[in-house]
Amino acid sequence: MFENPENERKMKNILTLVSGNGTNLQALIDAERQSGLGQGTIAVVISDKLNVFALERAENAGIPAFTLLPDKNLPKQERRLDLSNRILAKALALQIDFIVCAGFLSILSGDIIAVYASRMINIHPSLLPKFGGQGMYGEKVHRAALDAGERESGCTVHFVDAGADTGQIILQRIVPVFSNDTPQTLAERIHVQEHAAIVEAVRRLV
């Protein structure tokens, strides 16, 4: 009888998308090394920015990593689609099973959303649906939570859909907000929870 090569490939390939420092990527790398990511393995890392530290983290771990940039002559919406299509083409060529946006700041659109429906997740540093959406990333999210007088904040891992931060929630982790918090102190407290959340979500996903 013929073996189906797909069945033989036991480990599921994970593409991790990054834009910056890559501490969430590092949490995944460390988790895979220490106790595994279930049936998953980080097969490749793609950045939408040149020379970010996340790429160095990947290289240090022996994971292939590279940057994909959209055609900068295109208008904004088309640029988004162009980058999404480039990522999709790579993901298909590399037989990627799951995509993890781990500190990835571009918004994806086009075919990748349907092709990787329920197989693509994102981590966001707030308790969605609060403080999400276009332009809400990094310090802005934490400043908005503080300005709103929130007593709690946290992070959310959710499936990626055609909206910005609107996909089905997989899990959330909550932290307290203190009266003397700055966006930086709140971000640091949430970051610790993000690292646990992303590992847990990836293990559940694969």
Q: Supply the Cα-derived Rg of the chain in whole angstroms.
A: 17
Nearer to ligand GAR, 48 or 194 (CB): 194
- Interactions with ligand GAR, residue window 53-72 (CB under 6 A): 54
Size of the site for ligand GAR (CB under 6 A): 17
Strand 120-124 relative to strand 40-47, pairing? unpaired
Q: Least distance to ligand GAR from the beta carbon of 9, Å? A: 28
* DSSP annotation string for 54-118: HHHHHHHTT--EEE----TTS-HHHHHHHHHHHHHHHHHHTT--EEEESS--SPP-THHHHHTTT
Q: Which of 124, 142, 158, 195 is catalytic?
A: 124
Instruction: Please list the residues that pair with 145 across neighbouring strands.
Output: none
Helix (H, G, I), strand (E, B) or coil at 44: strand
Kindly state whether residue 21 participates in binding ligand GAR, applying the rule CB under 6 A: yes
Task: State the virtual CA torsion across 40, 86, 6, 168 in degrees, nearest 10.
Answer: 50
Contact 71, 82 (CB under 8 A): yes
Nearer to ligand GAR, 13 or 47 (CB): 47
Kindly state whether residue 23 participates in binding ligand GAR, applying the rule CB under 6 A: yes
Kindly state whether residue 131 participates in binding ligand GAR, applying the rule CB under 6 A: no
Kindly state whether residue 123 participates in binding ligand GAR, applying the rule CB under 6 A: yes
Kindly state whether residue 138 participates in binding ligand GAR, applying the rule CB under 6 A: yes
The residue from 70, 103, 154, 167 that contacts ligand GAR (CB under 6 A) is 103
Kindly state whether residue 183 participates in binding ligand GAR, applying the rule CB under 6 A: no
Nearer to ligand GAR, 87 or 93 (CB): 87
Nearer to ligand GAR, 96 or 128 (CB): 128
Query: Is 158 known to be catalytic?
Result: no
What are the structure tokens assigned to 173, written together?
């982790």
Which of 146, 155, 156 lies closest to 178, judged by CA? Answer: 146
Residue nearest to ligand GAR (CB): 103
Question: Looking up tokens 């997740």, which residue turns up?
Answer: 121
The residue from 55, 102, 202, 205 that contacts ligand GAR (CB under 6 A) is 102
Q: Least distance to ligand GAR from the beta carbon of 43, Å? A: 18
Active centre residues (catalytic): 124
